[in-house]
Amino acid sequence: MSEISPTGTWSELLWGRNGLRSLALAGGVALHAINVYIVATVLPSVVQDIGGLQYYAWNMTLFVVASIVGSATTPKGIDALGLRRAFLVALVVFGLGTGVCSAAPTMGWMLAGRTLQGLGGGLMLGLSYASSRILFEQRLWPKAMALLSSMWGVATLAGPAIGGIFAQMQAWRWAFGSVIIVTASLALLIVTQISATATTRSETAVRIPVRQLLLMVVAVLAVSMASLSHNLIWNLAGIVLGITVSVVIARIDDVAANRLLPTGAYRLGGDLGSMYACMALLSVAMTAEIFIPYFLQVVQGFSPLAAGYFMVLMSAGWSTGSIPSSGRGLVVANRLMQLGPVISSISLLGLSMALPWYAPDQFSTVVALIGVCLFGIGLGIGITWPHLLTQLFHSSPAGQENMASSAIITVQLYALAFGAALGGMVTNAAGFTEPGGLIGSQRAALALLVALAMAPACAAFLIRPVIRQRR
């Protein structure tokens, strides 16, 4: 049975020097996450301007695949450069990619910029989570994890709003320009608030698991390439290949000296493996956000700005679940962990009915149902996520703490990439591009959301070993 130490207070985390450090780490998560939602909101405008609708999901897939590579270098970056320099390298790469996106004349250039963004953003994200163990006392970890995880909720408030404003002005390129300004501001905060000597040194040399990372890229790209075909056989072949390669990754990494995930991460019946599996499944559910702004605009007739602001409801649900639940006692927290995935699954099923429902004479009713479902998706994940992260910190094998914390992001991003690739396949097969338009979008929305609802439903089952371990 794992023993969880008492948590500190919010004032301790957010006051004085700790407060400025919290702002820096939360800023790293927020910048990465806000950028995700800005792109999701402006992407309908981007494809109208420079084309490439068939590669719609690729904007997220390549970004996340590159983020996996970036996040996996986190332990090496901390060990070799220290926190400050590693953060600055991440911000430079991220800023360069953002500049390429802002000037992209074709979808090919946009995808190249998104790849650079993902590489820098993944490293930045991994550093933000791993740094909380280095910069704060152990009793502040639960609050720190709640703060960082809530940034994804904040991002669904700020990102779609920013993207929607620029898309409404037919100036989507300036949305990326605003991200460059924030990147420069965060770099200044990192320089002033994180010591150049802040780091943890490993007793043995830290190496990057190149073989496993390459196989991850192969798995995701196999599904993505297959999604471009409307032939069911090719679609199934891509899925089978992607799953097969994922199994190979697990077998290789489980016995490798140079690991991607810590010891025990691949045993689903165990505490650590179940936690990573639940994180992956909840992350897959969140890939709905890639397509929702598009469906809102095409099916329900929302403007880009209105679609962006409507995504605030998912943010509100995430924040409503994340921050209050982090201070609950063990018994209540365990119940919330079990209930959260169920709420998200039911909400996704409800959204699969409401979002494709085109009824101009009942517009207010449809919009209300969509809003409730969006709030529920975020709520379910928000009340579960901080407890999973905190328990994982306490369950990390001795000597693999940095690996375990950076693996949170690796698992999350791999699930997002795989989910985005599968989402692209499901939507394209259901009619996203052919016939396209209103009918194609309705079919694609229904198929996608029903498929995604299965992920948190599985998480509700797999989370049981984690709860038993906490009792």
List alpha helices for 73-171, DSSP H. 74-102, 107-135, 141-168
- Number of domains composing the chain: 1
Q: Is residue 2 part of a domain?
A: no
Angle made by CA atoms 227, 251, 255, in degrees to the nearest 5: 145
Q: Which two tokens stand for residue 294?
A: 């598009």
The whole-number pLDDT of residue 440 equals 92
- List per-block mean pLDDT (blocks of 10 residues) for the chain, which spans 471 residues: 56 79 87 87 90 87 88 81 90 96 95 95 87 76 78 76 87 94 92 71 65 90 85 88 93 86 81 88 89 91 84 81 69 82 96 93 93 94 84 77 75 85 89 87 95 95 76 58
Q: Which two tokens stand for residue 261?
A: 């995930």
350 neighbors 369 (Cβ within 8 angstroms): yes
Q: Output the CA torsion 75→78→83→86 (10° steps).
A: -90
Q: Is residue 81 part of a domain?
A: yes
What gap in Å lies between CA 94 and CA 108, rounded to an integer? Answer: 18
Q: Is residue 423 part of a domain?
A: yes
Identity of the residue numbered 150: S
Q: How many CB atoms lie within 10 A of CB 11?
A: 11
Q: Is residue 17 part of a domain?
A: yes
The whole-number pLDDT of residue 470 equals 60
The whole-number pLDDT of residue 471 equals 58
CA 436, 441, 444, 447 torsion: positive or negative?
negative
281 CB burial (10 A radius; 0-12, 13-18, 19+): buried
Look up the domain containing 305 and give its range.
10-198+207-470
CATH code, domain with 300: 1.20.1250.20
The whole-number pLDDT of residue 469 equals 67
Secondary structure (DSSP) of 412-453: HHHHHHHHHHHHHHHHHHHTTTTT-HHHHHHHHHHHHHHHHH
What gap in Å lies between CA 100 and CA 179, rounded to an integer? Answer: 12
3-state secondary structure of 119: helix
- pTM of the entire predicted model: 0.78
378 neighbors 321 (Cβ within 8 angstroms): yes
- In 3D space, the residue among 21, 28, 148, 65 whose CA is nearest the CA of residue 415 turns out to be 65
The whole-number pLDDT of residue 2 equals 44
CA 393, 395, 400, 406 torsion: positive or negative?
negative
- What is the Cα 23 distance to its own chain's centre? 20
φ/ψ (deg, to 5) at 399: 85, -5
Q: Which two tokens stand for residue 123?
A: 């490293």
